[in-house]
């Protein structure tokens, strides 16, 4: 498509690329947009220093000083909004207080897209003891309804979030969180021949408490199978009483390699308003890397995983034990499910499929006089 001049897009995000949401829902689409002729600017509220500070405990003075600096930097960036053709707010433009900054941006720019990938309208995560519940109550909750309603278009990470957004805005497109299948590849056949089977989990401080819900099931599996090990990546400080468990920090530079070290991937979730809005990204990562997912049938998980076809679903402790037990006993079943899981990602949740669709959506927002629903991107493939 020819353009008289390059179109410019400003992405306002909360954190730098260290944050998975920014990395996978914004940064990885930038090359596709630039090849289509767009000039893209990604502006994170926090610096890498502040992002790492916020993920740890203590150091209140350092957090405060860096937050003041980042706040001033954000307001300077917001002052230049009108030099961009499209402004995309991913989750939040300002991470504290009510959505006042987002509403201010909506008053200053007529082509604002709001993007979200969690049930932020629910107020705060279920595991609030680890997630600053006061900040979530102030920032999110029903105050986001106004932001959704006043945005020119809304990008939702799944059908649950899209259904909520459509109560306030008819211009909503579902874009799932996807992975680059050229980077995410299944492990080599040689790696599959190991005697020890590795059951693992990858996540963050905010999601590790969900694994505690199946701690009893994991202990029972360890008692039943001596050639099994557990490997968790993301929050080593959280301790589980499970034999043969290695709890390691998350490393962005070895993310795919760490996933490939697993044979079975865990994604337990309680059934709540917050978790029903999650985008199933943990399972998507497992499946892309050829790791068999075992997950709770909550929210988008039931669209992503077909039980006994490309993974297994489990609710009770006994169901978790049965699912893990059959996978540990049947190597052929693991191989079949892993192959089907990878095919699901290639066909429906890959950057190769959604990169062009995302560009098509942005084309409709930047070139049309009125919003036109992007036919390919509007409906989540299943």
**Residue range 333-356, pLDDT digits in tens:** 999 999 999 999 999 999 999 999
pLDDT at 377 over 50: no
What total number of domains does the chain contain? 2
Residue 370: pLDDT band with limits 50, 70, 90: very low
Distance CA 215, CA 322 (A): 14
pLDDT at 125 over 60: no
CA 21 to chain CA mean position, Å: 5
pLDDT at 109 over 50: yes
In a domain, 379, yes or no: no
In a domain, 329, yes or no: yes
- 25 and 90 Cβ atoms separated by less than 8 Å: yes
Half-sphere exposure of 207 (CA within 13 A, CB side): 20
Torsions phi, psi for 225 (to 5 deg)? -130, 120
Q: Are residues 109 and 172 in the same domain?
A: yes
DSSP-assigned letter for residue 203: -
Of 214, 213, 260, the C-alpha closest to 233 is 260
Q: Are residues 362 and 307 in the same domain?
A: no
pLDDT at residue number 1: 41
Q: Are residues 149 and 201 in the same domain?
A: no
pLDDT at 139 over 80: no
> Among 122-126, 196-200, 243-247, whose mean pLDDT is lowest?
122-126
pLDDT at residue number 60: 83
Q: Are residues 88 and 105 in the same domain?
A: yes
In a domain, 375, yes or no: no
Q: Are residues 106 and 94 in the same domain?
A: yes
Q: Are residues 294 and 335 in the same domain?
A: yes
Strand partners, 90: 115
The residue ranking higher by pLDDT, 338 or 368, is: 338
Residues of 30-66 as b/e, b for ≥16 C-beta within 10 angstroms? eebbeebebebebbbbbeeebbebbeeeeeeeeeeeb
Q: What is the pLDDT of residues 145-173, one digit of tens each?
A: 999 999 999 999 999 999 999 999 999 99
Task: Please provide the distance, in angstroms rounded to a whole number, between the alpha carbons at the two ends of the chain.
Answer: 29
In a domain, 184, yes or no: no
Q: Are residues 165 and 120 in the same domain?
A: yes
pLDDT at residue number 189: 60
Mean pLDDT of the 215-223 span: 97
pLDDT at 2 over 80: no
pLDDT at residue number 375: 38
Q: Are residues 215 and 132 in the same domain?
A: no
The residue ranking higher by pLDDT, 193 or 52, is: 52
Of 25, 293, 289, the C-alpha closest to 181 is 289
**Checking DSSP bridges between strand 264-267 and strand 292-295, what pairing results, if any?**
parallel
pLDDT at 275 over 70: yes
The residue ranking higher by pLDDT, 308 or 1, is: 308
In a domain, 381, yes or no: no
Three-state DSSP state, 196? coil
Q: pLDDT over 70 for what percent of the chain?
A: 87
pLDDT at 130 over 50: no
pLDDT at residue number 382: 30
Q: Are residues 237 and 134 in the same domain?
A: no
Mean pLDDT of the 263-290 span: 96
Residue 58: pLDDT band with limits 50, 70, 90: confident
In terms of residue numbers, what domain contains 239? 189-348
Mean pLDDT of the 352-381 span: 67
Q: Are residues 53 and 35 in the same domain?
A: yes
In a domain, 378, yes or no: no
Q: Are residues 158 and 206 in the same domain?
A: no
Q: Are residues 148 and 204 in the same domain?
A: no
Residue 191: pLDDT band with limits 50, 70, 90: low
pLDDT at residue number 31: 97
Distance CA 145, CA 126 (A): 20
In a domain, 116, yes or no: yes
In a domain, 374, yes or no: no
Half-sphere exposure of 134 (CA within 13 A, CB side): 0
Q: Which CATH number goes with the domain that contains 238?
A: 3.40.50.2000
pLDDT at residue number 373: 39
pLDDT at residue number 379: 40
Give the pTM: 0.88
Residue 135: pLDDT band with limits 50, 70, 90: low
Residue 192: pLDDT band with limits 50, 70, 90: low
Q: H/E element holding 199?
A: strand 197-202
Distance CA 298, CA 197 (A): 26
The residue ranking higher by pLDDT, 195 or 242, is: 242
């Amino acid at each position: 498509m020819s353009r008289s001049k390059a179109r410019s897009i400003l992405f306002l995000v909360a954190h730098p690329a260290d944050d998975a949401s920014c990395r996978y829902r914004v940064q990885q689409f930038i090359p596709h947009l630039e090849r289509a002729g767009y000039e893209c600017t990604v502006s994170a509220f926090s610096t890498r220093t502040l992002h790492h500070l916020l993920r740890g405990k203590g150091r209140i003075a350092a957090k405060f000083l860096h937050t003041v600096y980042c706040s001033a930097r954000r307001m300077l960036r917001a002052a230049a909004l009108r030099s961009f053709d499209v402004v995309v707010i991913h989750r939040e433009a300002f991470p504290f207080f009510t959505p006042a900054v987002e509403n201010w941006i909506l008053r200053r720019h007529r082509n604002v897209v709001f993007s979200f990938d969690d049930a932020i309208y629910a107020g705060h995560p279920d595991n609030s003891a680890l997630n600053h519940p006061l900040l979530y109550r102030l920032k999110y909750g029903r105050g986001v309804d106004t932001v959704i309603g006043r945005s020119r278009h809304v990008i939702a990470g799944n059908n649950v979030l899209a259904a909520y957004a459509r109560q306030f805005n008819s211009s909503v497109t579902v874009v799932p969180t996807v992975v680059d299948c050229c980077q995410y590849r299944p492990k080599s056949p040689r790696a599959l021949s190991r005697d020890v089977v590795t059951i693992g989990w990858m996540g963050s401080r905010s999601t590790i408490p969900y694994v505690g819900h199946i701690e009893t099931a994991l202990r029972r599996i360890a008692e039943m199978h001596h050639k099994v090990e557990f490997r968790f990546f993301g929050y080593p400080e959280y301790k589980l009483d499970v034999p043969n468990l290695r709890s390691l920090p998350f490393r962005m530079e070895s993310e795919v390699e760490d996933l490939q070290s697993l044979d079975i991937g865990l994604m337990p979730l309680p059934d709540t308003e917050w978790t029903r809005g999650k985008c199933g990204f943990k399972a998507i990562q497992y499946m892309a890397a050829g790791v068999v997912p075992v997950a709770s049938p909550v929210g988008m998980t039931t669209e992503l995983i077909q039980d006994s076809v490309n993974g297994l679903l489990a609710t009770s402790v006994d169901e978790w034990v049965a699912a893990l037990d059959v996978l540990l006993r049947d190597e052929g079943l693991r191989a079949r499910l892993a192959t089907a899981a990878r095919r699901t990602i290639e066909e429906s949740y890959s950057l190769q499929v959604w990169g062009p669709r995302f560009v098509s959506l942005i084309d409709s927002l930047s070139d049309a006089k009125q919003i036109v629903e992007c036919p390919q991107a509007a409906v989540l493939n299943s």
